[in-house]
């Protein structure tokens, strides 16, 4: 249940974050140039939003991969190891992504 | 369809497999006449009696109620005793019969249903009555009975189980057939162990293993909706404590006249 709920809640969060991401990054209203992009990347509020987006993406992707892999009977015996591998990968990717966000 | 006089002749391609002689399954074609009203099961009987006595398949009631003759017809699962032959041949007058998918083949169209029945047993599909059994009868509201009606119509043919993509990957998953029966018992106000049942369904191979692909709905020859039952069970697993308390309260009134019971989760579909 925990994995299932994590995936569903992260999916709902992704709906919000992806919409925001598409509007702000790909279809920004008005003029856009590098100065405005750097200004946004430097804003603490945007850093928090980007980190939350990163958490939602990692949660959704890793729980989804875990569910799909453990669907296969021969892999399901390694559930615990897969869960740990997913958690470690999640932490590493979170650190890597957060450092990238905080660079600006 | 080729016509022989006024009665057309159709080709039935049947997947054959004899584990003692064959390395892998193969298709064998038979010609049979297809008068109006003849079912696919009638055609199988005709082939077995007149053309090849070694053809093996399961059947019993011939009234679409025992579930024995579920098999794959042109890629879709159905009860062949209830399927008119003429309606299922393609435009070339050919019909292809295979055994239920994802299950080990014993011989020809007969599959090994061991995992199907093991998962059925796992959900304890029998009623566990409360301690205070009323002297005369259990009183249930019309809404409570209606919520269980569709699940009771399941004939355990295995069509949903064999069409489930998760079952293709793992036989540890409970499966739509058993989850529908679990739904039947969990929602039954006479049952006194809903929390235990829901706890079992909460395990890794329980309700959360379903990917909501809906194949079970398409496959069910009785038009039932196992997916909706699974969704209902998922919600009840989350609210297990409150549901158990409500059930205990409900069981204190099982022998009293029905006044207000409230809305019960209902399954759509049905016949």
Domain assignments of chain A as residue spans, ordered by start: 2-102
CB B170 within 8 A of CB A69: no
Q: What is the mean pLDDT of residues B49-60?
A: 95
pLDDT over 70 at B267, yes or no: no
Judgement on whether residues B247 and B122 belong to the same structural domain of the protein: yes
Q: How confident is the model at residue B271 (pLDDT cuts 50, 70, 90)?
A: very low
What CATH number corresponds to the domain at position B57? Answer: 3.10.20.30
Contact of A70 with chain B, judged by CB distance below 8 Å, is answered with: yes
CB B194 within 8 A of CB B186: yes
Query: Which of A3, A5, A72 has the CB atom closest to B169's CB atom?
Result: A72
- Final residue belonging to a domain, choices B111, B131, B146: B111
Contact of A4 with chain B, judged by CB distance below 8 Å, is answered with: yes
Q: Which residues pair with B39 in a beta bridge?
A: B84
Q: What is the mean pLDDT of residues B170-191?
A: 93
Judgement on whether residues B197 and B136 belong to the same structural domain of the protein: yes
Model ipTM value: 0.72
| Residue B214 forms part of a structural domain | yes
| Residue B270 forms part of a structural domain | no
Query: Structural domain tally of chain B?
Result: 2
Q: What is the mean pLDDT of chain B?
A: 89
Judgement on whether residues B119 and B247 belong to the same structural domain of the protein: yes
Judgement on whether residues B63 and B170 belong to the same structural domain of the protein: no
Domain of residue B223: give its range.
114-251
For residue B5, what pLDDT is reported?
Answer: 62
Alpha-carbon distance B21 to nearest alpha carbon in chain A (angstroms): 29
Q: Determine the 3-state secondary structure of B84 from DSSP.
A: strand
Q: Which positions in chain B touch A71 (Cβ < 8 Å)? A: 166, 169-170, 209, 211
Q: Which positions in chain B touch A1 (Cβ < 8 Å)? A: 202, 208, 237-238
| Residue B92 forms part of a structural domain | yes
| Residue B137 forms part of a structural domain | yes
pLDDT over 70 at B264, yes or no: no
Convert the pLDDT of each residue in B132-164 to its tens digit. 787 788 888 888 888 888 888 999 999 999 999
Judgement on whether residues B88 and B120 belong to the same structural domain of the protein: no
- Final residue belonging to a domain, choices B65, B80, B111: B111
Q: Determine the 3-state secondary structure of B92 from DSSP.
A: coil
Q: Output the CA–CA distances (angstroms, integers) from residue B69 to A25, B75, B104, B157, B180, in the order listed.
A: 58, 15, 16, 8, 20
- Does the distance separating the beta carbons of A71 and B170 come in below 8 Å? yes
- Does the distance separating the beta carbons of B238 and A70 come in below 8 Å? no
For residue B2, what pLDDT is reported?
Answer: 63
Alpha-carbon distance A64 to nearest alpha carbon in chain B (angstroms): 11
Q: Give domain A2-102's CATH number out of 1.10.8.60, 3.40.50.720, 1.20.1300.10, 3.30.230.10.
A: 1.20.1300.10
Convert the pLDDT of each residue in B76-108 to its tens digit. 999 999 999 999 998 888 999 999 999 999 999
CB A76 within 8 A of CB A66: no
Contact of A3 with chain B, judged by CB distance below 8 Å, is answered with: yes
Q: How confident is the model at residue B270 (pLDDT cuts 50, 70, 90)?
A: very low
Convert the pLDDT of each residue in A18-71 to its tens digit. 999 998 888 888 778 888 888 888 889 999 999 999 999 999 999 999 999 998
What CATH number corresponds to the domain at position B186? Answer: 1.10.1060.10
Task: Write down the pTM of the prediction.
Answer: 0.83
Contact of A2 with chain B, judged by CB distance below 8 Å, is answered with: no
| Residue B267 forms part of a structural domain | no
- Does the distance separating the beta carbons of A76 and B172 come in below 8 Å? yes
Q: Which helix (H) or strand (E) holds B8?
A: strand B7-16
- Final residue belonging to a domain, choices B56, B80, B111: B111
What is the SS3 string spanning B184-200?
HHHHCCCCCCHHHHHHH
| Residue B216 forms part of a structural domain | yes
């Amino acid at each position: 249940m925990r994995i299932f709920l994590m995936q569903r809640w992260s999916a709902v969060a992704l709906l919000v974050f992806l919409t925001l991401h598409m509007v702000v990054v790909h279809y920004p209203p008005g003029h856009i140039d590098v100065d405005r992009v750097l200004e946004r990347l430097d804003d603490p509020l945007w850093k928090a939003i980007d980190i939350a987006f990163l958490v939602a993406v990692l949660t959704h992707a890793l729980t989804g991969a875990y569910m799909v892999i453990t669907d296969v009977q021969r892999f399901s015996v390694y559930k615990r190891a897969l869960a740990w591998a997913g958690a470690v990968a999640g932490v590493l990717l979170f650190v890597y992504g957060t450092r990238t966000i905080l660079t600006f | 369809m080729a016509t022989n006089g006024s009665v057309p002749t159709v080709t039935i391609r049947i997947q054959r497999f004899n584990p003692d002689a064959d390395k892998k399954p193969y298709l064998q074609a038979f010609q049979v006449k297809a008068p109006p009203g003849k079912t696919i099961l009638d055609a199988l009987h005709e082939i077995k009696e007149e053309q090849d006595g070694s053809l093996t398949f399961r059947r019993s009631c011939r009234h679409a109620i025992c579930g024995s003759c579920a098999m794959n017809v042109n890629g879709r699962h159905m009860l062949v005793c209830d399927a008119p032959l003429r309606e299922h041949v393609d435009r070339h007058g050919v019909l292809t019969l295979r055994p239920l998918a994802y299950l080990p083949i014993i011989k020809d169209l007969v599959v090994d249903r061991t995992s199907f029945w093991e998962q059925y047993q796992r959900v304890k599909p029998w009623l566990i009555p409360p301690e205070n059994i009323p002297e005369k009868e259990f009183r249930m509201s019309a809404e409570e009975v209606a919520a269980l009606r569709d699940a009771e119509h399941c004939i355990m043919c295995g069509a949903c189980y064999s069409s489930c993509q998760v079952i293709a990957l793992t036989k540890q998953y409970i499966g739509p057939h058993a989850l529908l029966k679990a739904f039947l018992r969990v929602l039954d106000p006479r049952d006194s162990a809903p929390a235990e049942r829901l706890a079992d369904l909460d395990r890794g191979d329980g309700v959360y293993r379903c990917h909501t692909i809906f194949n079970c709905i398409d496959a069910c020859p009785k038009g039932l909706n196992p997916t909706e039952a699974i969704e209902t069970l998922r919600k009840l697993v989350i609210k297990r404590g409150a549901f158990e308390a409500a059930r205990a309260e409900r069981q204190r009134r099982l022998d009293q006249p029905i006044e207000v019971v409230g809305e019960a989760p209902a399954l759509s579909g049905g016949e």
